[in-house]
Structure 1
């Protein structure tokens, strides 16, 4: 697809979604047009991220993609917190974490594995990622266990303490992985001879595509709420799968493009890095933001959500610990995602 046609489709889909959002009352039409726009905008974000990664390297490129990709989810969750829809917020956090580890990584490993018999990446990085996800599970598990024994005020205080500690741990991880031990966690992977755009244009494209993804994501979420009510879907399923899949569209596109070009290390960094950022930074940040909004949210997740995150982490660590992937491992990740999704649908 040439560049002019690509941007015509991106612009056209966005304008169509804007028209549906502002000038029609048909929620199904709004949902369909916003979904279409997200697909093209996510592809734009993927191209931008790949171009930035060409200049910045896979570690920083993957971090930028996770950050910009999660911006839409953070904006969506902010509005949900503002409305006091805490169950939906926690479900969307759960969905974002397991969606990145199982769906995004699963599709990347599967499609990349169909083209390349085996792809390798830094096993040390995989080990650290596994330890960080284990930390996230511990941090979410503790308040859920003690909830029955502590009064609400102390649960709130515990949530604040855990949130601050997780944010500090995540910031220290960035220093460790990108400054003090960067050379040990980097991947040497094939790059295309030229980037899509120059460095300045790549950064501008990344910023613009992120803004548009965030805008359309918000439109789509409003439609999803109405559509889900008409279909009789639960808040848990809508938050954990519908909203999470929509919010992860940017990561889907970027990770798949990189994996199919033999750069599985960058794809893993996007998928796992995004899950870590959601669990260790976005979720705790939302708890602190809720205090500023005057509607305190705790960090207590349901047993269903904890089980889903725990199972997703277990299978992801099992598959990535050796630093090599093949297409069947992608099938395993997707199988677990379907099993969890089916269970959430019937809850």
Structure 2
């Protein structure tokens, strides 16, 4: 990172978080310091994945950014599953999905649109993303819709079957998008850039680090994110109780915003460099990865702890995911964006945040 203050602050907050965890009993302070350290490590993770994206290309780079960006959320969720906090796990998954579709994508469209009047990306990719978002909504809706007619064991069995199929579908999507149809889903929106006399090429900066250093920073950042996540989760229940916040709000917004820090920074910076294809790949791709891979993976991981988790989400969570997927799909399907569309996404996010806080 080029900022002179970043590295010293990262070291100070990490040491402070360790000191608070081992020597303090005040849970709010421990939570606050661990969260700040987690945010800084997530920012470093985002910068490192942006450097890797330079070497790997926009599609693979966006996928790596979404994957390592989701590492924080996955690690936090694993510790929550270990403690049996399934409601908070599902709320955090919901918050991650709507946060990426509304907050991350909305900020990317807004700030990118302020600099460039119109930004474009591959329309075929946009169409497939919209279909996958619809699949995620349908799959998450099914267990809740049939919950009343099944006993608890049958619900868990259905969740395991659905989880296996989702993971298979996501892996096949990676094969489709990264191998068999890589060219068709590439960085160039076919038939648009060449014909647009006003087209402004994306800004491509030299990465801050070499390929090897970038990969090393990915690994180191992921390790410290895991560490800070464990410490943060240890304090989250008492903090939520002290503030009078529900598990739904804490999981869907507080944890999701902290966990999404890597995507926030990287997607916005890429959009401001007119690399909207990579920004959309990070925001939408991250939501798809959460719903089609991370959520079902947690169902299998829960079996290792002897605490089986199902995929039955609350009506509030399902409504939020469906609304987010609908408007994000509507806005991005044409492969063209502007700043006002970003505002629309942010308005919906603010509305959902208000409702979740009051529920």
Same fold (TM over 0.5): yes
**Which residue of 1 is the match for residue 129 of structure 2?**
129
CA distance in structure 1 between the aligned counterparts of 2:26 and 2:272, rounded to whole angstroms = 38
1:183 aligned counterpart, secondary structure: coil
For structure 1, the 5+ residue unaligned runs are none
* Residue 243 of structure 2, aligned match among 216, 227, 231: 231
5 Å-filtered alignment, 1:220-299, equals 220-299=232-311
Deviation string 1:201-245 (CA, Å, 9 cap, x unpaired) is 111112212222232233223333221110111111111111111
For structure 2, the 5+ residue unaligned runs are 189-200
**Which residue of 1 is the match for residue 157 of structure 2?**
157
Question: Quick check: 2:79–2:233 contact (8 Å CA) kept in 1?
Answer: no
2:281 aligned counterpart, secondary structure: helix
Structure 1 residue 147 displacement after superposition = 0.9
TM-score by length of 2: 0.92
Question: Quick check: 1:42–1:253 contact (8 Å CA) kept in 2?
Answer: no
Structure 1 residue 294 displacement after superposition = 1.6
CA distance in structure 2 between the aligned counterparts of 1:61 and 1:137, rounded to whole angstroms = 26
Question: Quick check: 2:46–2:69 contact (8 Å CA) kept in 1?
Answer: no
CA distance in structure 2 between the aligned counterparts of 1:6 and 1:234, rounded to whole angstroms = 33
Question: Quick check: 2:92–2:252 contact (8 Å CA) kept in 1?
Answer: yes
**Which residue of 2 is the match for residue 31 of structure 1?**
31
Question: Quick check: 1:14–1:37 contact (8 Å CA) kept in 2?
Answer: yes
**Which residue of 2 is the match for residue 12 of structure 1?**
12
1:197 aligned counterpart, secondary structure: coil
**Which residue of 2 is the match for residue 340 of structure 1?**
352
1:55 aligned counterpart, secondary structure: helix
Structure 1 residue 143 displacement after superposition = 1.2
Question: Quick check: 2:92–2:255 contact (8 Å CA) kept in 1?
Answer: yes
1:299 aligned counterpart, secondary structure: coil
**Which residue of 2 is the match for residue 2 of structure 1?**
2
CA distance in structure 1 between the aligned counterparts of 2:309 and 2:123, rounded to whole angstroms = 37
Structure 1 residue 9 displacement after superposition = 2.5
TM-score by length of 1: 0.95
Rate the CA distance shift 1:293–1:221 in 2: closer, same or farther, 3 A: closer
**Which residue of 1 is the match for residue 315 of structure 2?**
303
Alignment root-mean-square deviation, CA = 1.6
Question: Quick check: 1:164–1:284 contact (8 Å CA) kept in 2?
Answer: yes
Structure 1 residue 4 displacement after superposition = 5.0
CA distance in structure 1 between the aligned counterparts of 2:258 and 2:237, rounded to whole angstroms = 13
The reply to whether residue 315 of structure 1 matches residue 327 of structure 2 is: yes
**Which residue of 2 is the match for residue 180 of structure 1?**
180
Structure 1 residue 308 displacement after superposition = 0.4
CA distance in structure 1 between the aligned counterparts of 2:318 and 2:86, rounded to whole angstroms = 16
Structure 1 residue 193 displacement after superposition = 4.6
